[in-house]
Structure formats: C-alpha cells, structure tokens
Amino acid sequence: MRITRKAAGAVAASATIVLALTACGQGGGTTAEPGSGEELSTDEDITISLAWWGEPDRASMYEEAVDLFESEHPNITVQTQFQDWDAYWTARATEAAGGSLPDVIQMDLSYLRQYGATGQLLDLEGQVGVNLDVEGVDDALLESGAIDGAQYGVPTSTNTLATFYNADLLTKVGVEPLAEGYTWEDYGAWIQEVSKAGADMDPQLYGGADFTGTFWFFLEWLIQQGVEPFAEDGTLNFDEAQLTEWLSMGQELRDSGAIYPIKQTKQLDPLGGFHVNESASEVTWDNFLAGYVAESGEDIQMLPIPSGENGPQQFWKPSMLLSASASTSQPAASAALIDFLINEPEVGKIFGTSKGVPAVQAQRDAMDVEPGSVDEQVVQYEEDVADVVTEAAPVPVEGFGEIEAEFKRLGEELQYGNVTVEEMASQWFTFANDTVVTE
C-alpha cells in the first residue's frame, strides 16, 4: 500500500512535469468567443465520458443524475468513471499527458490553474447561452472558475470555513462555547481553557488542533487583514514576516501542550482528534459536517471562523467545479451535461449538501432538507454567514497542491518540535519559490 501510494505520487509528479512541458508548446489555453458554440444535435448518437472522485454514495448519486440526463437526451450516452481523490488525480494527470481527458471532469479549485493554464480544459465561455446556462450562479463564485477571462470550470456548489465544536463535550467539562465575533487570539485562549478543564478526563480532552498548520486558514487570515494572497500574475503576494507572525500565534499553544498531540493525530489519520471526541473543536469546511457527525455521534455545532483585524471576512470556495476537456470531440454535449448537473432541480434533490451547498437557487430549493438534519444545519450556517462572506475565493496559483502539502508537512514538523517558526517560514518560502509556476 505504501509503495503504491508513493508510486502514485511519483506518477502524478512526473505527469505534472509533462503537463508543464506541453504548456510551453501551447502557450496557455485559447479563449473562446462568448456564445460561439454549436447547438446540441438531437438526432446524432453521442457518447461522452464523465469522471468524478468520491465514495460509493456519491457514485450512486451521480449514476442517478446521469440516468435522468440520459432520459432527457435519449441520443446521448454518458460513460461514467470514478476513483478516490488520490487515484483520481493520478489517472487524470496521465490522461492529460496522453491528451485524452474524459469529456467532463469534476474539478477542484486547487487543480484548476494547473489544468486550465496548460490548455487541457475547454473554455466554456463559448457554450454559455447556447448549451450552458450560468445565470443562476453568483458572479463572484463563477469568477473563481475563470483564469485570465477563460471559463475553465463552473462551480457546482459552495462551501466556506466554519469552526465546529462538540457541545456535549463542552457541557461535560463546563466550558462555554465561544461567542460570535471572537478573534484568532480568543480562539487560542479558549483552546487553552478547554484543555485545562479536560486534563483529568479519560481520555484526556483537548481544546482543538494546531490551526496554524493549515494553509487555507493562513490564507483566510491574510484576507481578513486585507491582503490578497495571490497576485494577478500567479505569484505569492505575502512575505515571510507575515507567515512568521501567523505561525507564532500558535507557539504558546504548542509549548503548553494545549493542542491535540500530533502523535495521536498521526495514529488516527485520516481521522482526527475531533472525530473521536478527544478534541473539542476544529476549524474546517462546513460540508464536512456530515462526516464528523457520523464519526463522532455527538452534538456538533457550527460557528463562523475567528475574525481578524478587518472583521469576520470569509470567502465562498467552490467546493467543486465541473470542467470539460479541451480535447473533447463533443463540446456541445459536454456543456449540456454540465448545465444539467448545475441547474436541474432534481439533481439538487439527489445530491443534497453532500458536495457542498448547491450554487444555483433552484437546486437549493429542490433539496429535501429534513428539519434537524445535517443538511439543514449546513444550509442554515451558510445562510447565517452570508453577510460576512464578502470576499471572492483566491484562485490558487499553479503548484498550489504542492505548496499546500509542504505547508502541512512543515506544520507537522513544527508540532513535533523539529523546526522553529522561523525555520518553517524560511523553508516553506524556499520550497514555494521553486514550486510556484509563474508565467
């Protein structure tokens, strides 16, 4: 298993190099004229392929949605395929190198630039208004699927960060949950308080994990300070001093042992202390709620994330996008499938909030949200925080996946005490400067 994973990583890495090389030859994607696409034919037999990552439940949901699509377009057959997250990107990287990506692919924001800028994805702008209707998608959200004016992906759904806390555990140790409007410093102090109160419990209860080790939280913090993390030209827009300041915020927590120990996190991987009710809070994406509730089985509540200097600014992240392959021979049918998946109310009903809250109102309305269910909690949360979600999601730079992984790795080293805050900041910047591809 270990070897396989390593092997898969190596393939993904080498395929990335090939992608980068092909990019040099093509000089980026070509931009399509708005609405220049051809009408979808209704008599010709068409087969298109669709790929996504996810677990078996998602597979059943997609199959159901695809069946609906096929009954609405009897001349189109959709060939589906699915893998788990790691395998998915290994397979896509190899296909991209071979110029044979599936016609429609589920896309993640962190990979959008890598595939878009290397000319692997179709500019859907040409299909807008012909086979693809994006009227219902919020402009700022739609913008997050575009690079240099080319619409490489259409967001299907949104998510945003939230602080989860375990209300049952807090009652047990007698600590009040945080009040809205708290800052990152408040959050740190609160973690200390919970860990102190839970020190005698068996198993020992911690207040939370080391939040400074997650790249997205750092980005969020930058945005709250009025810093746009990535510049227009695809470079980093922050410096070592800012990173050091962010990481230092967690130093006291690490020193005093108030955060969930990294050793235990590693043992539980891919779960965390919060899943097994040994940690009272966690900052994460709101659509992960279902997974947390299923694992922990306790009363889990959500709060907006801590606020920074300029207040509680947050961003919507497209939790998932749909893209079409640049090499597709059926752009019209591909666009029609994307259109169906983002707009059709029935599809919204099938998926619920499992991919995040649907981007289009019609799908949100169509969901059967049971009172008191996880779905309701997530939808409610997104409605509640809508006021503080003022920022557009930063479009990740090329190489984002790698610098994010390096951030995580160094963050763990920091928790083990193998590097200092300053060392981590400088090592990460060295890595990022070598990795981030600039045009």
Partner 1 sequence: MSAHTSTPQTQSLSNQAAAALPPGAGGAGGHDPNGEAAKAARRGAARRRKGLKALGFHAVMLAATVVVLYPGVWMLTSSFKPTNEIIGNISLWSDNMSVDNFATALSGIGGVGFWTFFTNSMILAIASVVGVTLSASVSAYAFARINFPGRGVFFAIMIGTLLLPFHVVIIPQYVMFNQFGMVNTFIPLLAPKFLAAEAFFVFLMVQFMRNLPRELDEAARIDGCGHTRIFASIMLPLMRPAIITSSIFAFIWSWNDFLGPLLYLKKPDLYSLPIALRLYVDQTSVSDYGAQMAMAVLALVPVMIFFILFQRYIVDGVATQGLKG
Contacts with partner 1, residue ranges (CB under 8 A): 4, 7-8, 10-11, 14-15, 18, 49, 51, 53-60, 62-63, 79-87, 90-91, 94-95, 97-100, 102, 267-268, 270-271, 275-276, 290-291, 294-297, 354
Please state, in angstroms and rounded to a whole number, the distance separating the CA atoms of residues 24 and 3: 32
Nearer to partner 1, 82 or 407 (CB): 82
Nearer to partner 1, 101 or 336 (CB): 101
Nearer to partner 1, 313 or 354 (CB): 354
Smallest gap from residue 236 Cβ to partner 1 (A)? 25
Distances (CA, A) of 308 to 41, 226, 247: 52, 10, 15
CA-atom Rg of the chain in angstroms: 22
User: For residue 185, is it left (φ>0), alpha (ψ between -120 and 50) or beta?
Assistant: alpha
Host H or E run for residue 17:
helix 2-26
Nearer to partner 1, 86 or 346 (CB): 86
The b/e string for 152-175 (b: 16+ C-beta within 10 A; e otherwise) is bbbbbbbbbbbbbbbeebbebbeb
| Residue pair 154/145 in contact by the 8 Å Cβ criterion | yes
Nearer to partner 1, 4 or 42 (CB): 4
DSSP of 59-119? HHHHHHHHHHHHHHSTTEEEEEEEE-HHHHHHHHHHHHHTT---SEEEE-HHHHHHHHHTT
Smallest gap from residue 174 Cβ to partner 1 (A)? 26
Smallest gap from residue 326 Cβ to partner 1 (A)? 16
Backbone angles phi and psi of 371, in degrees to 5: -60, 135
| Residue pair 307/181 in contact by the 8 Å Cβ criterion | yes
Smallest gap from residue 286 Cβ to partner 1 (A)? 13
Q: Can you read off the two tokens belonging to residue 314?
A: 């947050």
Nearer to partner 1, 27 or 203 (CB): 203
Smallest gap from residue 84 Cβ to partner 1 (A)? 4
Please state, in angstroms and rounded to a whole number, the distance separating the CA atoms of residues 67 and 48: 13
Smallest gap from residue 61 Cβ to partner 1 (A)? 9
Nearer to partner 1, 98 or 226 (CB): 98
Smallest gap from residue 180 Cβ to partner 1 (A)? 28
Nearer to partner 1, 133 or 278 (CB): 278
User: For residue 112, is it left (φ>0), alpha (ψ between -120 and 50) or beta?
Assistant: alpha
Please state, in angstroms and rounded to a whole number, the distance separating the CA atoms of residues 332 and 37: 7
Q: Where are the beta strands (DSSP E) in 100-207?
A: 104-107, 146-147, 150-151, 154-159, 161-166
Nearer to partner 1, 68 or 290 (CB): 290
| Residue pair 131/39 in contact by the 8 Å Cβ criterion | yes
Nearer to partner 1, 88 or 218 (CB): 88
Smallest gap from residue 153 Cβ to partner 1 (A)? 16
Nearer to partner 1, 91 or 347 (CB): 91
| CA 52 to chain CA centroid, nearest Å | 14
Smallest gap from residue 29 Cβ to partner 1 (A)? 21
DSSP class of residue 273 equals T
Smallest gap from residue 86 Cβ to partner 1 (A)? 8
Nearest-5° angle of CA 400, CA 403, CA 405?
105
Smallest gap from residue 264 Cβ to partner 1 (A)? 8
Nearest-5° angle of CA 182, CA 184, CA 185?
90
Three-class DSSP category at 148: coil
